[in-house]
Homo-oligomer: A and B are copies of this chain.
Amino acid sequence: MTNFDASLKAEVLVEALPYIRRFWGQVVVVKYGGNALAAAGAGGAAGAGAGAQGADDGLQSFCTDIVLMRSVGMRPLVVHGGGPQIGELMTRLGKVPEFVDGLRVTDSDTLDIARMVLVGKVNRDIVAAINRHGPLAVGVSGEDAGVIAARAKDPKLGFVGDVSAVRPELLERLMAEDLIPVVATIGSDDKGQSYNINADTAAGAIAAALGAAKLVYLTDVDGIRTDRGDPSTRRSTLRDSELADMIASGVIDGGMIPKARSAMQAVAGGVGSVHILDGSAPHALLLEIFTREGIGTMVVNS
């Protein structure tokens, strides 16, 4: 090690170690998108083959970060979606989407397909990728032990659900055992009926129910910008009131709106901070959590 190297390494360590102390034992909920997974090529339902061989660098870098976070005493929990993968299996099965008032309907068969893909495919691929580091991850469906209590969003849409409550005990118990829960966002009502739930929303509700220190959305943008086209306008910290203003004024739009709303709800519900990062940046999670500057946008309570 040259003196230059030594000095630089020492500096990174002196910067990072206090965060480790601060977040020791704290829950960090990480939303990992189906897009990221699909991009990672681990995707095609009933396509590319189960297990480790299909997982590529992006998923592996993500899993390394999750395992390292756990290794320094944090309690990470992964929530995932799987839209592209559901679509793919529906196509293979020749299912044609049905619409009511322009909205896609989840009938019983579609729900079965969504559940198989989310619980039996996407969830499994993430669990397998983490478990290459050891027997650490446990796949959970929101139906297990009633983790996600749900109700129909709108009868016309079929089995699309809203979160009515989160029972966090099973997740807390698994984390207390130093395990990493990987949650597929299927919920159920007390009659045993299942519903497909938006993963961004579910991640926020879970983070609030767990009193998480952080909720991280791994997306395909590098944070929230005041001018979407200009990377230099990325805000590294935002109060939730500013976020509300940015939605109101139209600065935030499109797919970022559900994330922004979930972020505001999570912060209001007691989550310490919500982070929006570009999940494709290598080790994005580590850099956001263990450096002063971070690499995305952090939303905090005003």
Contact = CB atoms under 8 A, between A and B. Distances in A.
Given A46-B112, A46-B113, A46-B116, A194 B128 contact: yes
A49 B143 contact: no
Interface string A110-122: 0111011111110
Nearest to A68: B17
Interface in A106-141: 107-109, 111-113, 115-121, 123-124, 127-129, 131-132, 134-141
Interface in A10-35: 10, 12-14, 16-18, 20-21, 24
A8 interface: yes
Contact of A21 (B1, B9, B71, B293): B71
Contact of A145 (B49, B132, B135): B135
Quick one: copies of this chain in the complex? 6
B145 A138 contact: yes
A207 to B, nearest CB: 20
Interface string A37-60: 000000001111111110100000
A35 B126 CA distance: 30
A6 interface: yes
Given A16-B16, A135-B146, A159 B50 contact: yes
A72 interface: yes
Contacts of A123: 119
Given A291-B1, A295-B1, A129 B45 contact: no
Contacts of A287: 1, 6, 9-10, 13
Nearest to A282: B10
A148 to B, nearest CB: 10
B141 A124 contact: yes
Given A50-B111, A124-B119, A193-B52, A145 B137 contact: yes
A244 interface: no
Contacts of A281: 6
A188 interface: yes
Contacts of A191: 52, 132
Contacts of A134: 146
Interface of A: 1, 6-10, 12-14, 16-18, 20-21, 24, 45-53, 55, 64, 68, 71-73, 92-93, 107-109, 111-113, 115-121, 123-124, 127-129, 131-132, 134-141, 143-147, 159, 167, 169-170, 173-174, 177, 179, 186, 188, 190-194, 281-283, 286-287, 290-291, 293, 295
Given A13-B68, A131-B192, A135-B146, 19 more contacts: A1-B293, A8-B12, A10-B286, A10-B287, A12-B16, A16-B16, A46-B93, A47-B112, A49-B107, A72-B72, A73-B73, A93-B93, A115-B121, A120-B121, A127-B141, A127-B144, A128-B143, A135-B145, A137-B144
